[in-house]
Chains A and B, each alone.
Chain A
């Protein structure tokens, strides 16, 4: 039964997924198990994305499906869900840039791979990054950017992290449309990731997970 939900979600069978969730809730199954199955299903989606089997449309679709599952399960939850996470990552598109497609893919992939993601959204002022890294104690900061203004905004963000005296506590990765290794050097970040899978690999490496 539980394998079914994992597979159905991974295969994006929306009607069957919702029907099965309803059945399991009606049968008074532990809602936490349903959520755990959904998590596993999304993990498979993430894996298929990494393997070029799924692309952005499938991520969008599965994300919407998961949202519906969560809505159904929520009223049945008696306690807050606690899952063990690999680590915290603060994420955002740098100041002056409002693009979020790549940002959200990275958020999705980090999330399904077990990270606790603090996504600050787009056009994020440098202070907001500094404050969030301080507040959460996150060991990883991901900076996204699509356009050329992002080059300088990334540099300024890294400098602000330095000025706040927390540069040694946090690894900084950058990624997005027009970036490359050259901008990593220019911005003095720790790594450049070509895509969301690279971001996951970098983050896992930094927290010592496999």
Chain B
């Protein structure tokens, strides 16, 4: 008799335990028994921190952004276009740094693909930015007008296909000519005929070719991930999600647009954000199912202190974001918001979550205060200033880490990392972070 409970009947803790076990026991061909042992130790270190227990020592996420390219003597532009160089740079980094987790180059997008689809939402080196810039930058605009919320609310898929893609992917402009594809009248020729349009055909052809090119890039990315797992380094980037307010503010309406909507059409904005909740949850669940890592990284933008009041945060930002957090937790996942800016004014609001269910990664934050307010609720991560990492000395970095550990580590529930990630600078500053954890972060 099968006594195993159905997934939907499990509590969130039971689901999470299953996901943690899966993460611990990924089917990896480790390079040695030693690397296998290290892998399990490292995953266990993170799991304990998440559960607000004391691990063997403070776990570290090295704040390495695109710095592997810089340290390999190339730059972001090169590795965006040359996948062999991408692989070489990240493998070199893997070889030369001691870490608890390794962040692969999955967010170093293939330049040729972005060009082929004529992606409008980012600038990148050599494409709107100088060749030697080490990051992408997002191009905000009112891609969707104030009176178009109903399209999103009515049918997000249709909105995505016929409104959003034609405006943000130049190659898909012709999709605006497509009919509604949910043709429930049931007569196929009504909609099939549209696919005769040469521009629509060209758009699909471009997407197909871009897909093929993406697979070439992905081969390099997967190779790097595989090798890092084999070397005993777990992934910490299981999937991604975010807050509905940012999804709409960043990608659809722009800062100005969404803030005007807060005054002129708050109900529409709320309705649209609600619509995105189940979609975002499904997306992250699928991502973590594929990666085998339960951590959901969630970069947050527009809810930061200074941008909106606590009241506005509690009215517009937090409710749907919290629904996503709880939805992810209920699927056994571990949300890890990266709170850009200053979340200090929000601490009392965000602590209202199940104990030990998530990680908050802070940029600007009085970590003593965060520990005090959130210490019994959530694991906290951060926040060696990226300014110090980029321009300071290893000694200063190590000393800063020592003080952070002293404040944040007691009792567990702390991950040492940066306030943001480094794209260039002294590699010994990264080593200093790890050294500090080993020297000052051991639990006795």
Interface residues of A (CB under 8 A from B): 12, 52, 55-57, 60-61, 64, 95-99, 101, 123, 147-149, 151, 177-180, 182-183, 186, 195
Contact = CB atoms under 8 A, between A and B. Distances in A.
B222 interface: no
8 contacts: A96-B130, A96-B133, A148-B386, A148-B424, A180-B387, A182-B387, A183-B391, A195-B306
B25 interface: no
B312 A148 contact: no
Given A57-B308, A148-B134, 14 more contacts: A56-B255, A60-B256, A61-B259, A61-B260, A61-B263, A64-B260, A101-B255, A148-B422, A148-B424, A149-B133, A149-B134, A149-B135, A151-B387, A182-B387
Contacts of A151: 387, 390-391
A178 B391 CA distance: 12
Contacts of B392: 182
Interface string B130-142: 1001110101000
Contacts of A98: 123, 128-129, 137, 139
Contacts of A149: 133-135, 423
A182 B388 contact: yes
B137 A97 contact: yes
Q: How large is the interface on B (under 10, 10 to 19, 20 to 34, 35 or more residues)?
A: 35 or more
Contacts of A148: 65, 134-135, 386, 390, 420, 422-424
Contact of A178 (B137, B139, B306, B387): B387
B309 interface: yes
A12 B262 CA distance: 13
Contacts of A123: 129
Interface in B305-344: 306-309, 312, 340-341
Contacts of A96: 129-130, 133
B410 interface: no
B156 interface: no
Contacts of A97: 137
The secondary-structure label for the interface of chain A is loop
A96 B136 CA distance: 10
A52 B65 CA distance: 34
B429 to A, nearest CB: 13
B135 A178 contact: no
Contacts of B299: none
A186 B388 CA distance: 10
Residue among B309, B341, B419 having the largest count of chain A Cβ atoms under 10 Å:
B309
Contact of A56 (B307, B391, B419): B307
B385 interface: yes
A149 B132 CA distance: 9
Contacts of B133: 96, 149
Contact of A55 (B65, B123, B312): B312
Residue among A123, A147, A183, A186 having the largest count of chain B Cβ atoms under 10 Å:
A147
A183 B340 CA distance: 19
Given A52-B309, A147-B137, A149-B134, A177 B390 contact: no
Interface string B250-277: 0000011001101100000000000000
B387 A179 contact: yes
7 residue pairs, one from A and one from B, having the closest CB atoms? A57-B259, A60-B259, A182-B387, A96-B133, A98-B137, A186-B391, A56-B307
Nearest to A53: B309
Interface string B412-435: 000000011011100000000000
A146 to B, nearest CB: 9
Nearest to B257: A60
